[in-house]
Structure 1
Amino acid sequence: MSPRIMNDERTRGILFYGTDLDPLDLPLPRLKHHEWALIHEESPLNNYVLAHDAVMRLFNHTSTFRRESHYPLSTQAIEEEDYLIRRQPVSIAKKNEARKSGGLASVVYVQSHCDVPSDRDTYVEELMKYIDIDSFGTCLHNKDLPEHLHEPAENFLHEDFLEILSNYKFNLAFENAYCNDYMTEKIMRPLHVGVVPVYKGSPVVQDWMPNNHSVILVDNFGSPKELADYIKYLDENDTEYETFLEFKKKGIENKFLFDHLHNREWSEGTKDYFRGFECYLCKQLNDRVEAEKAHEQDPSLPLLPPQMANNSHLGCPVPERMDIGSGISKTWPSIDWTALYWSGVDSARAVQRMMEAGESDSQKFTKYRKEEINRHLKG
């Protein structure tokens, strides 16, 4: 952004997209009337500097997957209000037939992003020792999709892809990071097509489910073998299995989720959340300008207090090796996510110190980061 625009008194709000935020490219100096806004619907793995309070407190307005953000995107993977219930599941008879004569396993896994902070493939690989799993993606691949669907990430909304998934009984849904309220299409898609998700991800995912019995939570089992035994039990007991799909007929019974979907200002089909947050931000900035004008006319009228984000608007736990019940994973993905997380601390504190010093040149971040690393090593 040009210095002329940045120094214009009419410039009030600056919107950052989280993945692209680079400390070396911050719009400095930050003037006292500038309000910073952050939108980041993605996982923290995209930019670990945002996982730390020192940077998050620089933002006045946030829109993230966390419900604590000012414009929450927790239900970003639920496209429409009726998305979870409008498509009825394939009959249990057809699913059983697909198991017997179609050569399908009871469980499907579709994942092509393999080296992630959650270390999910370690668990899935162990689970495969105890139960058959059809894995269509690049990760732990053992079954091919039709040629026109070879890139599942690009075709996950294709009707042919949804039809294939709908014939399975269970879908492994493991997020790439385990953060409160971070839920993606990995869990919402199987709910949509009528397949029971076997889920590991957000610790509070049950808050967002259609009822209290629609998902199998991996963390409720002591080991992959225990989980496999339970899946096998449901696979052999149709009546018990179908209790997980009752929400398809009864509708959303979770009042918290129902109210959230009904009241949110955006949906994929009408008003997307990027534009929604921009509108929200414009209103917030305009309200502040109007309050300032009114205060100039009548000093007894209060100014609006500043908003400030904090770590709860995006923060996530430190990435750890997967606990597979029989011990911690001895291997780690090719990327050391723990090291990246703690490197983000040094970067975040460097940004904080740079801002406190009133720097006007963001390129000085490199100097501040080196100082922070040295401070870290000495401490």
Structure 2
Amino acid sequence: MIEPFKFVEREQNAFVNRQCTFRNCFITENPNYFNDILAFDIIMFDSLTLDEDTELPSERSPYQKYVFSAWEPAAFHLLHERYNGYFNLTWTYKLDSDIPLPYVIIKDQSNEVIGPKMDMHWLDLSQMNETSTYIRNKLQKKHIAAACFVSNCEPTDRMDFIYELKKELNKYGHRLDVYGVCGDLYCPGRYKEMEECFARIESDYYFYLAFENSFCADYVSEKLLHALEHFAVPVVLGGANYSR
């Protein structure tokens, strides 16, 4: 089970846990839950499993909703023409989806979700709280210019930029540290095992290069959070409008 489906709670749990007004819905990944495929109100399709040979339902009720789901960049799941006009709704990272599912959500001080959204309104500087002593102390102890984590070393404009920036910073006595198989510093490959490396970002680095591997509209991955959650300034490169 891959994203985003692995985040969906099965049976009625998603509706009960969120105290939804209507809880008489049931989520299952078992296509044989009903004897008749037409008994399902909604059928969701994972974009990464759809190609010209995918076995699709042999019957379709006009009352059913077919939902296209994607959490990976559009470049990773080019759809065959057989799917033109096939879906009723979209459930993707794009902000104009029928059901938006961004990687990153933005909350206010009351813990209310306020973004991302197409028309985002940020606080003026005068409305923001003073930087806490705790954060000031964190920032004062930093001493290295920037870091990035890179796992794909294929020659790209992104990698060329990283190596050129590294050379330029060296001229002025600053460093860009590259972690991962493309650099000379080691980080474990799995997110939960990277806490030691994230701790280094928090303690040592002013900037973090949050370069996406695909330039798609609205696509902003967890790379941005690597910086924001660890008191580093993200340097972004992607196809999204980051003001949203």
Query: TM-score, normalized by length of structure 1?
Result: 0.43
Q: Is the 8 A contact 2:37 2:57 kept in 1?
A: no
Kindly tell me: are residues 80 and 120 of structure 1, through their superposed partners in 2, closer, same or farther at Cα, counting changes over 3 Å?
same
User: 1:19 and 1:154, CA in 2 relative to 1: closer, same or farther beyond 3 A?
Assistant: farther
* Unaligned ranges ≥5, structure 1: 100-104, 208-379
> Counterpart in 1 of 2:180?
137
The gaps in structure 2 that reach 5 residues or longer are 1-29, 112-130, 170-174
Match of 2:158 among 120, 126, 132: 120
* Letter aligned with residue 69 of structure 1: S
| Alpha carbons 1:190, 1:196 under 8 Å: kept | yes
1:27 paired with 2:74, answer: no
Is the contact between residue 171 and residue 197 of structure 1 (CA under 8 Å) also seen in structure 2? yes
Q: In the superposition, relative to structure 1, how do residues 15 and 69 fare at CA in structure 2: closer, same or farther (>3 Å)?
A: same
Deviations 1:316-336 (A, max 9, x none): xxxxxxxxxxxxxxxxxxxxx
The corresponding residue for 1:345 is none
The 3-state SS of whatever aligns with 2:67 is strand
8 Å contact from structure 1 (residues 39, 62) kept in 2: yes
Greater relative contact order (CA < 8 Å, ≥ 6 in sequence)? 1
| SS of equivalent to 1:171 | strand
Give the match's secondary structure for 2:167: coil
Q: Which residue of 2 aligns with 1:279?
A: none
Q: Which has the larger radius of gyration?
A: 1
- Paired residues of 1:108 and 1:135 also in contact (CA < 8 A): yes
Q: Distance in 2 between matches of 1:154 and 1:45?
A: 27
Matches for 1:46-195 after TM superposition, within 5 Å: 46-49=76-79, 55=83, 57-74=85-102, 76-78=103-105, 88=135, 91-95=138-142, 99=143, 105-115=144-154, 119-131=157-169, 132-139=175-182, 141-145=183-187, 150-151=188-189, 153-156=191-194, 158=195, 160-166=196-202, 167-195=204-232
Asked if structure 2 preserves the Cα contact closer than 8 Å seen for 1:89 and 1:193, the reply is: no
Alpha-carbon distance between aligned partners in 2 of 1:200 and 1:38, rounded to the nearest angstrom: 27
Superposed CA RMSD in Å reads: 3.3
The match for 2:74 is 44
TM-score (norm 2): 0.64
Q: How do residues 1-379 of structure 1 correspond to structure 2 at under 5 angstroms? A: 7-33=36-62, 34-49=64-79, 55=83, 57-74=85-102, 76-78=103-105, 88=135, 91-95=138-142, 99=143, 105-115=144-154, 119-131=157-169, 132-139=175-182, 141-145=183-187, 150-151=188-189, 153-156=191-194, 158=195, 160-166=196-202, 167-207=204-244
| Residues matched between the structures, number | 187
Look up the SS of the partner of 2:141 in the other structure: helix
CA contact (8 A) 1:89 1:194 kept: no
Amino acid at match of 1:91: K
Q: CA deviation at 1:138?
A: 1.6
Structure (1 or 2) with the greater helix fraction = 1
From the two aligned structures, give the one with the greater strand fraction: 2
Counterpart contact for 2:201–2:227, Cα < 8 Å: yes
